[in-house]
Amino acid sequence: MTEITDPTYTQQLDAQDPLAHFRERFVIDDPDLIYLDGNSLGRLPQKSTQLAQDLVARQWGQRLIRGWNEGWIELQAQIGGKIGQLIGADADEVIVADSTSLNLFKLALAAVQYNNGRTKIITDDLNFPSDLYILHGVAQLAGRALQLQIVPSDGIHGPVDALTKAIDEDTALVALSHTTFKSSYTYDLTAVTQLTHHAGALMLWDLSHSVGSVPADLHAANAPLAVGCTYKYLNGGPGSPAFLYVQRDWQTRLGNPITGWMGHQNMFDFALDYQRDPGLRHFLTGTPPVLSTALIEPGVDLLLEAGMDQLRAKSVQQTSYLIDLWRAWLEPLGFRLNSPADAARRGSHVSLGHDDGWRISQALSHELRVIPDFRQPDNIRLGIAPLYTRYSDIHEAMRRLRQVVTDRLYERYAAEQNMVT
């Protein structure tokens, strides 16, 4: 059997990879650069460059305002319906709108207003900080005694037992990340949603780090609410709009706290009183950014073509291979595994901890042409995007990461973090 550290092992895996051909459908103009940050910003699909030219030159430049009646007004629902296929939702339950933070605010405030009289919002300390800030603001704005309870974890694994004890009849809302941003811990979507329902609370999932890489069947879980971004594994581009999901039965029960023109039942009546759209559209507020919204679609189409089962299978195999190389090469050099070892509870990125993690990540990026990202206090995150990450990329990245330490290249870099990572 070929040793996993032998480059010929990865060559065999790449040759057998049923998704290998998708890499050619992305812009990759520097073959020596190893990009392991698709969990923060996905690569540019080839089709997006062509679409961007058409959007600007023809749709905007030639068709002008006629573009609204030639497809723009339907983009949010059209692309939302496609995202729904990735997360186990129907087309009329998902829509593209605003940012993840704004969508989280809208759905969280709607949920606590519905569960009026309950006094707690439950989350965990693995959640993305922006989510915590939003939830804190919701608690303050609710107009009653409402507390945000942040359940502590061990820093890697979701605190399931502690959440079970915390979620009770006083809980209005439970809001968690399906896959957590630092450790990549992935919750059992169905089990936690059922736990929340049994307490009479509403469940709100943030799918930002799982959509497009980890299967999420919202219908099977009976999940009422979710949000997510589109610029990570969906490859929508920097700052591309987010999406929100509201289960059909909840669309009439919950109201949008930020009412706006786009959510009106008859926008062009220009009525002075607000009459909300009866369906999901009433969760819209303002005019959508057409250019960035449209550019989400090519990446989503690629994921749908590949299929979530194949994407997940490759992701599990690749993250497991990366962890095998960590054991062989990096654990003896002081690197720690800051992600779950159990693939069933791990998303599509792996965090490796090291006391000099920030300096190591800088040397890796600037000198050895591997782009990871870094999250405090010590996490070097290595993102696996199955559509374009090769097994040989993982092998070479880990070899270069080992070289940074064995050759002490990181010692050239300051310890202060001073840039976007």
Q: Any catalytic annotation for residue 6?
A: no
Catalytic site residue from 118, 182, 359, 381: 381
Catalytic site residue from 82, 232, 345, 402: 232
Catalytic site residue from 22, 105, 128, 374: 128
| DSSP H or E stretch at residue 360 | helix 357-366
Q: Are 311 and 386 in contact (CB under 8 A)?
A: yes
Q: Any catalytic annotation for residue 128?
A: yes
Tokens of 182: 């630092």
Q: Which residues of 118-136 are buried (b: 16+ CB within 10 A; e: fewer)?
A: bbbbbbbebbbeebbebbe
Q: Any catalytic annotation for residue 90?
A: no
Q: Any catalytic annotation for residue 281?
A: no
Measured CA to CA, the distance from residue 267 to residue 284 in angstroms comes to: 12
Q: Are 234 and 210 in contact (CB under 8 A)?
A: no
Judged by DSSP in three states, 179 sits in strand
Catalytic site residue from 37, 206, 373, 393: 206
Q: Any catalytic annotation for residue 232?
A: yes
Residue 226's DSSP bridge partners are 205, 245
Closest CA to 372 of 220, 106, 194, 362: 362
Measured CA to CA, the distance from residue 93 to residue 50 in angstroms comes to: 29
The residue written with tokens 């759209």 in the block is 277
Tokens of 255: 């109201």
Catalytic site residue from 22, 231, 374, 388: 231
The values of phi and psi at residue 411, to 5°, are -65, -10
Q: Are 358 and 415 in contact (CB under 8 A)?
A: yes
Q: Which residues are known to be catalytic?
A: 128, 206, 231-232, 381
